[in-house]
Amino acid sequence: MSSIKIIAEQFALQTRLFNNVLDGLEESQGGWRITDSVNHLQWIAGHLVNARYNYAPMLGIRAIFPHRDLYVDPTMPPPGNRSIDSSLNYPALSELKRLWNEISPKFVETLYKLDDAQLNRELSFDTPIRDNSMLGLLGFLSSHESSHIGQMSIIRRFLGLKAMTYN
């Protein structure tokens, strides 16, 4: 059994949780911010969708996130994340959800097929957890998604909606 199974299961869970955290939200709520120092749902959701599209080619998946320029600054060091900018018009939550559900089945399915040789391949860049293997990167990305989905869940509650479900 490949060592990717539990991480692939986490990505599968987070695929569902991303949809659940956006369930019942109005499009107009996507740009609401708790404070000016907190990102809104459209930015956080887009950041997560961008990340899956950004790392898909490393898994052999050909896909392009059409709103990449809103979330990535090519003048910044990799991964070049762009901070939220109130002068930009971010995609609607429904568009981000559609794109998430377009890339996610391919992304998760491909993860399950990775073997230990692929997972232990050293990457040409450092990861935040200092494990420069593909497995290390995927472990970090899973944690990254979980953290942001949690942020989205808190915003959801501030908007007066019921807690996100795991179903």
Give tens-digit pLDDT for 23-60: 999 999 999 999 999 999 999 999 999 999 999 999 99
**Which of 113, 116, 144, 114 shows the shortest CA–CA distance to 128?**
144
Contact at 8 Å (CB) between 134 and 123?
yes
Model confidence at 147: pLDDT above 50 = yes
CA distance 25 to 112: 31
Looking at the domain that runs over 5-158, which CATH code has it been given?
Answer: 1.20.120.450
- Return mean pLDDT, the chain: 94
Q: How confident is the model at residue 2 (pLDDT cuts 50, 70, 90)?
A: low
Model confidence at 66: pLDDT above 50 = yes
Model confidence at 78: pLDDT above 80 = no
Which pairs from 127-134 meet CB under 8 Å and 24+ separation?
Answer: 134/58
Sorted by where each begins, the domain ranges of the chain are: 5-158
Model pTM score: 0.94
